[in-house]
Amino acid sequence: MLLLELFWSFVKIGFTSFGGLSMIPLISSEMISHGWMTAEEVSDIVAIAEMTPGPLGLNCATFAGMRAAGILGAIVANMGTLSPTYTLCAVAAVFFEHFRDNKRLGEIMTGVRPACVGMVAGVVVDLVLVNYAEAGAVHFPSVILGTVDLILLLKFHVSIPVVLMLSAIAGVIMFGVMGL
């Protein structure tokens, strides 16, 4: 039954998101509502999925499925995530020429894009609360590390893998060695 629930959860995620970051709120909701993960664990999964090569949605499905039901869970979660994509791509391929210049489709997408940004913003707020607070107070070393990372990414255009590696090293030093 767990595998069927896991498959169905990721089918819903695949059908109701547009890949990448827009999947995170749905993955978080499904994992937490089924009791398969805590918000903190979802945050860890997203961080790991961002660090590893491959699509974020599949990486999250792999790690979440593995956490919930082992290797078979990872396979089932990935199949659930991919099933809607395969189905929709097959249908879209058949009708692509018809929809390419459709004015209404352009209008629909103009409305959907901001909704995706809003969903990602909601997840960012949740992640900020989990990652930058400790015992109900702001954890300033984490805020400083996050701010430095943001500056490295936006101002200096340092690559994401390099920023993640530097953050991991800083984490060991700041939170391990120094005990901040």
What does the alpha-carbon distance between residue 9 and residue 147 come to, in Å, rounded to a whole number? 34
Q: Are residues 99 and 142 in the same domain?
A: no
In a domain, 70, yes or no: yes
Q: Pull the structure tokens for residue 115.
A: 């909704």
Ranking 23-27, 120-124, 160-164 by mean pLDDT, the lowest is 23-27
Q: Are residues 24 and 92 in the same domain?
A: yes
Per-residue CA distances from 89 to 15, 92, 95, 109 (Å): 12, 5, 10, 17
Residue 83 or 105, more confident: 83
User: What burial class does residue 173 get, using C-beta atoms within 10 Å of its C-beta: 0-12 exposed, 13-18 middle, 19+ buried?
Assistant: exposed
In a domain, 43, yes or no: yes
Q: Which range of residues forms the domain containing residue 143?
A: 132-180
Q: Are residues 78 and 43 in the same domain?
A: yes
What pLDDT shows up at residue 108?
85
Whether the pTM exceeds 0.75: the reply is no
Q: Which of 55, 81, 112 is the last residue of a domain?
A: 112
Q: How many domains, the chain? A: 2
Q: Are residues 107 and 141 in the same domain?
A: no
Q: Are residues 98 and 160 in the same domain?
A: no
Residue-wise pLDDT for 18-67, tens only, equals 666 777 888 888 889 998 888 898 888 888 888 888 888 888 888 889 98
